Amino acid sequence: MFISSAFAQTAAAGDTQSTLMGMLPLVLMFVVLYFVMIRPQMKKAKEHKAMVEALAKGDEIVVAGGMLGKIAKLGETHIHVEVANGVEVQFQRSAVVQVLPKGTVK
């Protein structure tokens, strides 16, 4: 009876190593998640922010809804896009998805 309780107490000392080994898969999954999902998303957001900050009057763009046009006016948070002769639509700057090469929009 006394021997089994003493044996159980010594077995608990080796339990810390098994606890660390049990947490290892969780840590590895977080590292993989970071490199597969979080890091590429942060990189894409950084590139989009740089593109939006570099917008200039006359750039031809695609807006999130799929509308094409030329930038007519630039504001701090909004842009005016000319979608047809004399027709301007106002969008948020963050709605710009892509800057097209010159001459794409006619």
Q: Over the stretch 8-64, which tens digit does the pLDDT of each residue have?
A: 555 555 567 888 888 999 999 999 999 999 999 999 999 999 999 999 999 999 999
- Taking the C-alpha atoms of residue 40 and residue 34, their distance in angstroms, rounded to an integer, is 9
Verify that 43 and 13 share a domain, yes or no: yes
Structural domain including 75 reads: 56-100
Give, in order, the Cα–Cα distances in Å from 41 to each of 20, 28, 33: 30, 19, 11
Instruction: Report the number of secondary-structure helices (H) and strands (E) in the chain.
Output: 3, 5
In a domain, 105, yes or no: no
Give the predicted TM-score (pTM) of the model. Answer: 0.71
Which domain CATH number covers 95?
A: 2.30.30
Verify that 32 and 71 share a domain, yes or no: no
- Taking the C-alpha atoms of residue 63 and residue 69, their distance in angstroms, rounded to an integer, is 8
φ/ψ of residue 39, rounded to 5 = -65, -45
Instruction: Return the higher-pLDDT residue of 93 and 14.
Output: 93
In a domain, 106, yes or no: no
